[in-house]
Amino acid sequence: MNRFHEPFVLTGNVCTDGKMLENQSILVENGTITSIGDKSSIPAGFNGEVINIPSPYVIAPGFIDIHIHGAGGADTMDATDEALETMANTLVKEGTTSFLATTITQKKEAIEKALENVATYMKEKNSPGQAEILGVHLEGPFINSKRKGAQPEEYILEPSIEQFDRWQEIASGTIKIVTMAPEKENGLDFVKHLTNTGVISSIGHSDANYSDVEKAVQSGASHITHLFNGMKGLHHREPGTAGGALLLDDLTVEIIADGFHIRPEMIDLAVRLKGLDRVILITDAMRAKWLPDGESELGGQVVIVKDGKATLTSGSLAGSILKMNQAVKNIMDFAQLSLPEAVKLATVNPAKKIGVDHRKGSIEIGKDADFVIIDEQIQPIMTITKGTIAFKGVEGKF
């Protein structure tokens, strides 16, 4: 990790907000974008460093992962600074510059320890040169055991406003998304409470039928956790949770584009129905990401990782080891998207969803200098967070 001499300018082709802008110059001062325009817009007399990014390399906003459990051998539920630091230093290798630390259904005490740890880390240890933690995605325990997936059933709870409020207090208000099953008892009141307190209610690990999803949306639900996975699927006589997710315009949807969780054709279908503004790429990755194949762990359960796939011993999928840059490349192939369209799903859309688009998600004046420089295969060559080099791949490129 090292820092360019600031102020500095990046020049090259820029992919941002669904568009490709050629021959741009981006001025960075104090970790913030202060100017962007064609190369002639570099201020007269500028004597800072100018880094030219030649074609075919592209400058894109840093990726944002709003659903990720772990990476590099570490997991949010480890509840240690070392684990979060490992995640923050590992994710930049795939171009991710910010993320929501995601929990799993566990004992109350384990969840509380993880929440407190994330809140403290965000306050004291978020720093340039690593991926920034933007908050918490609380996945479970307010879910339906019928659709538990890899969530340990013994710790599943009924939706509880009192319990959530306790956890949000422990988390110092950092819980941004709660994955829950609205069809459960008190589920709709829980959705209303989350919405009224500014927290995103995300339908997931749910056996909700179409009318349940409609009622949840009317109560304030606005998001779907990993579309098609851990939910009642499409059927011609009951559209299910998935049908509601696809047809109701108030819902954004997460997609795990690894080719294992969802058939490529279903990803194509989802993108066509939801449109480019309502699809968000996630990894839902667990600690084995960036590690060799072998045995790992998720929520106290043994996970076998082989050939890019993570499963419990029962054969059930157990999160992923998907890298965000690969998700971008995959969805280009699966849904016939252009690079700007695919990048939008990993940058602008998640930033808007969790309310950080005033400083993240696109390359604009006043926003954080978070960039990933990618090649034609969407491989990160360099990742920059708040003006600091967080990852540099092949030496001698620039």
Q: Which of 258, 284, 357, 370 is catalytic?
A: 284
Ligand-binding site membership of 319 (annotated): yes
The sign of the torsion formed by the CA atoms of 145, 151, 152, 156 equals negative
3-state SS class at 99:
strand
Ligand-binding site membership of 205 (annotated): yes
Instruction: Tell me the CB-side half-sphere exposure of residue 28, using CA atoms within 13 A.
Output: 25
> What are the tokens at 354?
């969790």
d(CA 49, CA 27): 10
Ligand-binding site membership of 230 (annotated): yes
d(CA 172, CA 118): 9
Q: How many residues does the chain have?
A: 398
Ligand-binding site membership of 263 (annotated): no
| Cβ–Cβ < 8 Å for 121, 131 | no
Ligand-binding site membership of 52 (annotated): no
Contacts of 333 by beta carbon, 8 Å cutoff, 6+ apart = 264
First vs last C-alpha separation in the chain:
15
Ligand-binding site membership of 300 (annotated): no
d(CA 75, CA 110): 12
DSSP assignment string, 329-366 = HHHHHHHT--HHHHHHTTTHHHHHHTT-TTTSSS--TT
Q: What are phi and psi of 344, to 5 degrees?
A: -55, -35
d(CA 94, CA 268): 23
| Cβ–Cβ < 8 Å for 373, 97 | no
Q: Is 250 a catalytic residue?
A: no
Buried/exposed 320-346: b ≥16 CB within 10 Å, e otherwise? bbbbbbbbbbbbbebbebebbbbbbbb
Helices (H) and strands (E) in the chain, counts: 10, 22
Q: Which residues are annotated as a binding site for Zn(2+)?
A: 139, 205, 226
Q: Which residues are annotated as a binding site?
A: 139, 150, 205, 226, 229-230, 237, 261, 317-319
Q: Which residues are annotated as a binding site for substrate?
A: 150, 229-230, 237, 261, 317-319
* Catalytic annotation, residues: 284
